[in-house]
Structures are given as structure tokens and as C-alpha cells.
Structure 1
Amino acid sequence: MKQKLWAIIAFLYCFMLGITAQQNNQKQIVVSGVVTDANNEPLIGANVTVKNVPGLGAITNIDGKYTIKMQPYNRLVFSYIGYETQEILVKEEHTVNVVMKENKETALDEVVITATGAQKKLTVTGAVTTVNVDRLKASPSGSISNSLAGNVAGVIARQTTGQPGKNVSEFWIRGISTFGAGAGALVLVDGFERDMNELNYEDIESFTV
């Protein structure tokens, strides 16, 4: 009888341990914070990912803020073009603020942002043209795409209508023909695809093709 009782107690003990372990594995916390640079300026579009957990991540908003749901005791990885990647172990805390340090080897004035990532200017084999935003502001057009015509070498711009709200130009880079893909230009703003006509001149420092 005692042996049966001990067997039942041992079984219940193991069962409770299994439930506790499962609850711990399923426990998640919501972590939020702000990503800034050394001047306390928010970094927009910084990547925040959970290390070794593919597909789980977030991007900072216009105020440099992010929110991510994750399991505790994992590492958050913070990355941004031109800055050193940082890893922070998150235990039970719900607020993690990060100050990114500039990486001199990949500073924005030393690299070229392409569709596949960032390359050092010294290693870029293609032609690169940069125009200052003041030159675009001098154009009488309120559309950035219209202002590119005649100001950037290799850019072909075409405006098909003058209808308000649609009076923007389609543009191509170094020819209209292409192989197996869309002919339109891929516009990257701080490394992310975006409609260029949604931008304000005051938000642009320079335009690189």
C-alpha cells in the first residue's frame, strides 16, 4: 500500500513539474523602449530583433520607440546602418532604452545604400550620383520626382498628366528596359522601400542614384 502511495505521489510531483516548465516556456513579456544616438536624437527605422528567433522583431517609429513581445532571458539585437550592433540580455524588465554608438567603418558618409544592403564607397563598381536637396528645392515643382528631371544624371522622368494629386513623374534610372523585373526605380529611404513623393524636401539631406 505504501509503495502504491509513493508511486502516486511521485507521479503527481512529476506531473506538476511538467506543467510548471510548460508555463515558464509559454510565458512572454512585452518589452518597449527608445533607441537614440549619442546626441539623444531618436533613430527612425532601427531594427530590433530577438537573437536566434527568426521572424520576431520590430522597427522603431518616428520617435525612436519600439515594442516587442518575447520570452524573458533572451537577447535583443539592435542594429542600424552606420552604427554598431548591440545585444542586450532581457530578463524580466519591460523597458530597455538603447544609445547606439556610431561605427566609423560603416558611417553613412562612407557607405552607399543599395537594394541588397550597405557597401563601402571604395568597393562600389557602379556609377553613383549624388545631388544636394538645395538643388531640388530650386525647382518650381512641388513634387520630388518632377524635380529630378534634368538634375540627376542618368534619370529619365516622364509626367503623363497634370491632374491635381496625380501630377507626379514616373522615372527610370539609366534606361527603361529591364530583364525579368519591374522597370520602375526602387526607392530606399534610410534603407527601407518607400514612395518618394510622400517625402518633404525638409526631411531630405541628399539624393543618391
Structure 2
Amino acid sequence: MHRRRRTALLLTAAIAAAPLLTACGNDAHPGAAAVVGGQRITVAQLEDRVDEVRVAQRAAVPDDARYAQAVAGTGTLARTTLQGMVLDRVLHHAAQDAGVTVTPKEVQQMRTGLEQQVGGAKALETAWLEQYDIPPARLDENLRLQLQAQKLAEKLGTDTRRPEFWKALSEASEELDIDLNPRYGSWDVEKSSRVDAKTPWLRDVTAQGTQQTA
């Protein structure tokens, strides 16, 4: 695998999974899954993004049994999707501060290169859906994210694996004052990552949600 592709996959792979949580009590921001820089990511928007993945999975795996397996394997989808939505805004903010931009032509060039590596457009879409829960309609958006990460790292004189890169994201996270709905955990500014909330009234609903979805 070429170094560029490894770098491109790094940020996507870093969006890891853990149990989906629900909480009792009133939310600080009713109807919001997260507030980033004063802008709400609503629960409805998050659910729409999750539905996009489910629809893509259903289309890719028409067999009921295989689809049920695919759903079971992505039982933490809402949480990982929200992390991706927040991280996208954090990275965009950091890139803006650094004067980093990504053009549609650069995204297309990256996509073409990846398609050549994996065996075509369909193979790339399938790989992103299966490995990273990115539906085909969001593929270019995700590649833009990867390119922003690469170019920001280059501007900082480092790469996406180094502390200097994540320090820039940490600073952006702090500036954006990120507030997550407790049911999805909280945002770790230092790591620029969502973490599970450790409160006794939270309960894991992953299994139940998976059964209902399937």
C-alpha cells in the first residue's frame, strides 16, 4: 500500500467505536447531538446520516441474513458518525486557521488514484462503506477530509501521525468549545475525540438498538 493511501486512511480509521449511550434527565441543548462553535448538530441530522449508511448497506447486501450481520457489526454507528461530523468541523476550523484549502480537482485526483489502487469506482465505494461506514454519497466529502488533514500536516511541517498535528486539532477543539449531548459521551479536547461519559445513570442500548434496526 502506498504511503499516501496509508495517510489518507489514517484519520478515517482513527474514528473508532464504543457503546451507544442514552441518558436520563434534561439535555443542556434540547434536540442537539452536539454544539460545535455555537452551531448545532441536531439529533435529526445525526439520524439522517446514520440512515444514509443503513440504506447503503441494505443496497449493497440485499440478503436479509447478511444485512443483519452488517448491522450487528455497526451497532455503534450513531456514536462513530457523530464523532466524524464533529471532527470534520474541527479539522475544517484548524485548516482555515492555517490557510489550508482543498479544491474539487484535488478531491477527484485522490479519488481516481484510490480507484486505480483498489480496482475501480465500485470497489472503492464498497471498501469505504464496509471498512469506514462511509456511504457512496459521502465518499468525496470524506476524501476532502483526508486531504485537509494531509495538507494541514504538511503546512505544519509534520504528518498526521505526529503530536504536532493533533495539537493543532486540540487547539481548534478548544476554540470551538464543543459540547456533546451526554447520551453520546463528551469531547476530549486534548485528543480531539469523543469519549464515553462515565455516569452511573447511563445505560448501554447498543444491543437493543441493533435488534430494532435489524
Tell me the TM-score normalised to structure 2 length.
0.22
Larger Rg computed on CA atoms:
1
Higher relative contact order (CA 8 A, sep 6+): 2
Tell me the TM-score normalised to structure 1 length.
0.22
Structure with the larger helix share: 2
